[in-house]
Amino acid sequence: MNLHEYQAKEILRAHGVNIPPGRVATTPAEAEAIAQEYGVPVMVKAQVHAGGRGKAGGVKFCKTPAEAKEKATAILGMKIKELTVERVLVTVAADIGSEAYVGIIVDRATKKPVFMVSAAGGIDIEEVAASTPEKILYVPVDPRYGLPTYDAMRMGFFLYADVKLARGAAKIMQQLYAAFMASGCSLAEINPLVVTPAGELVAVDGKMVIDDNELDRRPEIAALRDERSEEPSEVDARNANLTFIKLDGNVGCVVNGAGLAMATMDLVKYYGGEPANFLDIGGSSNPEKVVNALRIITADPNVKAILFNIFGGITRTDDVANGIVTATKANPLKVPIVIRLTGTNEEIAMQILKDNGFSASSDMDTAVQQAVALAKGGK
Amino acid sequence: MSVFIDKHTKLVIQGITGRDGSFHAKQMMEYGTQVVAGVTPGKGGQLFEGTVPIFNTVADAVQATGANTSVIYVPPPFAADAIMEAAAAGVSLVVCITEGVPVLDMTKVYPFVKERGVRLIGPNCPGLITPGESKVGIIPGRICTPGPVGVVSRSGTLTYEVVYQLTRAGIGQTTCVGIGGDPINGTNFIDCLAAFEKDPATKAIAMMGEIGGTDEQEAAEFIRTQMKKPVVGFIAGQTAPPGRRMGHAGAIISGSSGTAQEKLEAFAAAGMGIAKRPIDFVELIKARL
C-alpha cells in the first residue's frame, strides 16, 4: 500500500525527522489559509499515487497566500496519470543548497533492509542506479541490531564532508529506519534530503510503501489507505480478500495462485485472446470468495467469456464449485463460462457442477482455447 | 533417491488442529508420510485422528517422537514465531505453508534459521513431495508419480499444473519443491538445483519462475557454470502489465527490472530448454531424458 507524501511526512515527523511545516488542503481557500498561517513562500503539491507530479504541473512554488490559492485552484481536480487530485499539501518552501537521496528497501538478495544513499538527490534514484551506479552507497542492516551509529555515520560521510552535516544525516537515517520498521514498510525514502544555505538538514519530500501483509496488525497504518485514489473494482476485490488487477481484454479469468494466474493470462494471449484481468482467489478458499470474484468480473462490460482455471491444493475444488453454483443461481450469467478444475476433492466438485448443469474439463489448454473462441463470439 | 525428504522423514505438524492443518494432515497421512506429532498450544496430551500425539510445543514433540521435519499451517501473525520455534527445537527442515507473512518478520527469521543450520522452505509455498515416499505440505499426491525429473517452482498451483502434465505423459518425478513466491524465502532455486545435481536419481530438471527479482537470472548463471544435468525453464507473467506485481524496490537494488524477457534471455544464454506453455515441458523434458 502506498502512502501519500503528507502521510509519510507526518510519520517521519513523529520520528523526529526535520520536515518543513505544512498541512494538507482540499479547497483553494484552505490552501490560502495554510500559507497565511505558516508564512510564504510555500510549495503547493498534488497528493496522488503517481510519479512525475512536478512534470505534470502538480507541484508549484508560490510567493503569496493569494498565489497559493490560485495554484491550488488549478491543481485540485486536475488529472495526473488518470488520477484526480483531491488534496494538495501546502508546505513552507525550503531554501535549497544541495539535494541528497536517502532510502531503505527490503532487498531480496541480502534478505535484509538495505539503505541506499546518494549525493545525487532530487531525481529518480532508478535513473542514478542505471547511469551512475557508483554514486549510490548500499548498506544492509541486520534488523536484530538495528542501524548502528557507525554505519549511519559511514553513510553520513558518503553524503557530506562536513562532520556536523554527516552527524545530522546519520541521525535522520536512524529516524528513517525507526519509521520504516514501526510502520511495516517495504520502502521508505527521503528525496530530496536538502541542506539549506544556512546549513540545516530538511526532508523536503518523503515516500513510504507499506507491506500489505503488515496491515492486519497495524490498524493505524491501514486507516491511512486512500481508496478514492484506486481503481474501484480493485478496492472491491481487496475488501473481498482477492488479488485483482484490471486489464483491457475480454476473457475474464478466475484462477487460484498467482503463478498459475499469470500463466493462464499468458496462455490466453498465446491462443490469440486478451485477458480482462488478473484474479487470484488465493489459497484457503471458501465459496464466498468465488461469489465475489464472479460479481467483480461480470461488472466489467468488456468481459465476453469467463474462464475458471482452478488447480486444487489447499484450495478445495468443491468449495469453488459450490461458489459457482451459488453465484450463478443468485445472478444468472449473461456471458459464457468455461470451467477447468482439477486437484483436491475434484470428484465431488465435478458432481456438484454436473448436478447443476455445468460442464467442466480438467485440461488447461483446452479450456483456454475454448474461452478465447467464446470471447470472440464463436462456439 | 530424492532431495530434502524421503520415506525416513518424520514429520511434526504445527497447527494440526486448524481448518487447513487438519485437512492436510489427513492427506499427508493417507499419502504415507510418517506424521509422528502435531503441535497446538493448549491441546497437548490429546490425539489427532486417534493416532497422532499432540504436544504444546515443538520441543516437546521432537523430544518425544524424534521428529526431524516440521510443516507449518499457523495463521500469518504467528508464522514467524512458529518457524523460529521449529528451528530452535532441532528439526533439520522447516516447511512453512502460511501465506501473508510480513516480510520484515522474515528478515529476522532468516538469519535465525541459517545460524542453526536449518533448511527453511517457504513461506507462502506448497511444500514438497517425493512421490511414493513422503509428502510435506499441500501438493496433491495423486498428480505425482515416481521418476527421474526434479521439479522446482516459485509458484504453488503452477507447480501442480506442470507436474500433472508430466505425470499424464508418463514422466515421473524424484522430488517436487515449491520454494514460494515471497520476496524473502528460506530456499531458492540455486539451493534446489544444487541438490538435484547431486541426486543420482534426478536426470533432468523442470524449473518454473516468474517475473520480479533476479533469482531466475542467478539460477541461469548457476546452471551455465555449475551444472551438467539438463534444465527446462518457464517464466510466468510474460503478459503481466509492467509495474503492477514486480517489486519496485528489488529492481532498484539489482540494477535490473526483473522482466520475463530478461529472464528468458538468461535461460537461453545458459543453454536451457524454454517452455512457452506449461504443456511444453512434456516434450522438452522427454527430449532430454
Q: Which pLDDT score is estimated for A33?
A: 97
Cα-based distances in Å from B232 to A264, A270, B195: 19, 19, 16
User: Is residue B253 scored above 50 in pLDDT?
Assistant: no
Q: What is the CATH number of the domain that holds B210?
A: 3.40.50.261
A121 in the same domain as A202 = yes
8 Å CB contact of A105 and B249: yes
CA distance B236 to chain A (A): 5
Decide if B5 is inside a domain: no
8 Å CB contact of A258 and B24: no
8 Å CB contact of A106 and B104: yes
Q: Which pLDDT score is estimated for A130?
A: 81
User: Is residue B271 scored above 90 in pLDDT?
Assistant: yes
8 Å CB contact of B138 and A365: no
A269 in the same domain as A148 = no
Q: Which pLDDT score is estimated for A283?
A: 66
Decide if A174 is inside a domain: yes
Residues in A touching B208 (Cβ below 8 Å):
259
User: Per the structure block, which three cell numbers stand in for B92?
Assistant: 533439520
Among the partner-chain residues B20, B156, B249, the one whose CB lies closest to the CB of A106 is B249
In angstroms, the CA A282 to CA B24 distance is 17
Give chain A's mean pLDDT: 92
8 Å CB contact of A262 and B236: yes
pLDDT digits (tens, 9 = 90+) for B184-217: 999 999 999 999 999 999 999 999 998 888 899 9
In angstroms, the CA A191 to CA A101 distance is 5
- Say whether A101 is catalytic: yes
Cα-based distances in Å from A324 to A97, A254, A287, A327, A360: 62, 11, 8, 5, 12
Decide if A8 is inside a domain: no
Give the domain extent around A50: 21-92
Decide if A340 is inside a domain: yes
Q: What is the CATH number of the domain that holds A241?
A: 3.40.50.261
pLDDT digits (tens, 9 = 90+) for A48-74: 987 778 888 999 999 999 999 999 999
Q: Which pLDDT score is estimated for B52?
A: 98
Decide if B1 is inside a domain: no
Residue B90 phi/psi, 5-degree rounding, is: 100, 10
B156 in the same domain as B20 = no
User: If you measure CA to CA, which chain A residue comes closest to B235?
Assistant: A263
Among the partner-chain residues A265, A282, A311, the one whose CB lies closest to the CB of B239 is A265
Give the domain extent around B198: 127-286
Q: Which pLDDT score is estimated for A379?
A: 52
Confidence of residue B243 (pLDDT cuts 50, 70, 90): low
**Amino acid identity, position A288:** E
Total domain count for chain A? 3
Cα-based distances in Å from A346 to A15, A137, B170: 53, 53, 21
Residues in A touching B101 (Cβ below 8 Å):
213
User: Is residue A187 scored above 80 in pLDDT?
Assistant: yes
Q: Which pLDDT score is estimated for A284?
A: 60
A118 in the same domain as A84 = no
Q: Which of B98, B106, B107 would you mutate first to test chain A, the one with the most A CBs within 10 A?
A: B107
Segment of A78-87, A226-235, A277-286, B267-276 carrying the highest mean pLDDT? B267-276
pLDDT digits (tens, 9 = 90+) for A246-304: 888 999 999 998 889 999 999 999 999 999 999 988 766 678 888 899 999 999 999 99
The DSSP secondary-structure symbol of B99 reads: S
Which range has the worst mean pLDDT, A123-137, A260-274, A297-311, B148-162?
A: A123-137
Q: Which pLDDT score is estimated for A52?
A: 79
Total domain count for chain B? 2
- Asked if the C-beta of A36 comes within 8 angstroms of chain B's C-beta atoms, the answer is no
Question: Cell numbers 551506479 correspond to what residue?
Answer: A133
Q: Which pLDDT score is estimated for B244?
A: 59
A163 in the same domain as A207 = yes
Please state, as a whole number, how many other Cβ atoms lie within 10 Å of the Cβ of residue A137.
Answer: 15
CA distance B14 to chain A (A): 16
Q: Which pLDDT score is estimated for B252?
A: 35
8 Å CB contact of B161 and A260: yes
Among the partner-chain residues B27, B76, B250, the one whose CB lies closest to the CB of A213 is B76
Percent of chain A with pLDDT over 70: 99
A272 in the same domain as A158 = no
Q: Which pLDDT score is estimated for B251?
A: 31
User: If you measure CA to CA, which chain A residue comes closest to B256?
Assistant: A130
Q: Do A362 and B142 form a contact (C-beta atoms < 8 A)?
A: no
Residues in A touching B190 (Cβ below 8 Å):
none
Give chain B's mean pLDDT: 92
8 Å CB contact of A143 and B252: no
Cβ pairs bridging A and B (under 8 Å): 181
Confidence of residue A180 (pLDDT cuts 50, 70, 90): very high
Which residue among the candidates A101, A160, A177, A346 is catalytic per the annotation?
A101
B163 in the same domain as B29 = no
Report the predicted TM-score, pTM, of the whole model to 2 decimal places: 0.91
B/e letters for A43-72, b = 16+ CB within 10 Å, e = fewer, are bbbbbbbbeebeebebbbebeebebbbbbb
CA distance B121 to chain A (A): 14
pLDDT digits (tens, 9 = 90+) for B4-45: 999 999 999 999 999 889 999 999 999 999 999 999 999 999
8 Å CB contact of B248 and A187: yes
Q: Which pLDDT score is estimated for B247?
A: 30
Q: Which of A101, A108, A187, A363 would you mutate first to test chain B, the one with the most B CBs within 10 A?
A: A108
In angstroms, the CA A26 to CA A5 distance is 15
- Asked if the C-beta of A216 comes within 8 angstroms of chain B's C-beta atoms, the answer is yes
Q: Which pLDDT score is estimated for A96?
A: 93
Q: Which pLDDT score is estimated for B240?
A: 77
